[in-house]
Amino acid sequence: MNIGVVGLGLIGGSLAKSAKKNTNYKVYGYDINNEVVKSAISDKSIDGELTEKRLAACDYVFIPLYPEAVIEYVEKNAEIFKDGATVIDCAGVKRSVCDKCFAIAENHNFSFVGGHPMAGTQYSGFENSKDTMFYNAPFVLTPKENEDILILANAREVIMKLGFGRVSVMTAQKHDKLIAFTSQLAHVVSNAFVKSPSALERKGISAGSYKDLTRVAYLNEYMWTELFLENKDNLIFELDNIIAELQKYSDAMKADDSDTLRQLLRDGKEMKLRAD
């Protein structure tokens, strides 16, 4: 089995390292920065550079790039992918990527399946990648309608061998709706939260709650701008909802309304229990 990884950043580097640690697959990697490729070869994270010749021999190709870059790579290499290969992207939004890449794959002899590994850190780059990044983590697949069940079963088997704990299958539309809440909203709130003047004075009087809430404030603004705008309809809905909810707490405190405030807090606690 030959695996190609296009983009050896945090996610791509971790995918390559996980494949080398957990499987006997041949793993080839590409990055726009050739020094990263050399480093990956040197520390045996990959077996070699993902050249056109090797790409044409890959059974699975993972593309952990920004959404527009995924589309560009698939368009550029549509004639090169091995007949019967499965190409899986790892971008944080799925509708824009899948809409275009499904169409490209249908005109060529390979399969495209949208993908999203649900793991990461606030840091980026190959130097922060690790072979345990995906241990027991979820992976989401967003296939085209009526995709061959065997293609999905085989893709799931490969993904599980990389160390993931489970693989979920859903539409690209459902993925983008849910990811707006579970990931994108959290990044916006965290990023906005640390803009309080109090953030510069908090040292010595902050504990776990501050650390948990602000971890993802340190983000890649280029990547997240693209992800937010690609999914703005879903994210705006979530932002408007949380703004409205926060206003209720503010209004209750301004009115010294302890009954309403207590009920708001109780409702949130109970929703957390239900959601878990």
Residues 69-110: tens digit of each pLDDT:
999 999 999 999 999 999 999 999 999 999 999 999 999 999
Q: Is the pLDDT of residue 200 over 90?
A: no
Q: Is the pLDDT of residue 203 over 80?
A: no
* The domains spanning 2-170 and 175-275 adopt the same CATH topology: no
Topology of domain 2-170, CATH: Rossmann fold (3.40.50)
Q: What ranges do the domains of the chain cover? A: 2-170, 175-275
What pLDDT does residue 276 have? 84
CA-to-CA distance for 158 and 176, rounded, in angstroms?
Answer: 24
Topology of domain 175-275, CATH: 6-phosphogluconate dehydrogenase C-terminal fold (1.10.3660)
- Sheet containing 60-63, strands listed edge to edge, beginning at the edge strand earlier in sequence: 48-49, 26-30, 2-6, 60-63, 86-89, 111-117, 138-142, 166-169
Residue-wise pLDDT for 126-170, tens only, equals 999 999 999 999 999 999 999 999 999 999 999 999 999 999 999
Average model confidence (pLDDT) across the chain: 95
Contact 185, 127 (CB under 8 A): no
Strand-strand pairing, 111-117 and 86-89: parallel
What pLDDT does residue 211 have? 87
What pLDDT does residue 27 have? 98
Q: Output the pTM of the full model.
A: 0.92
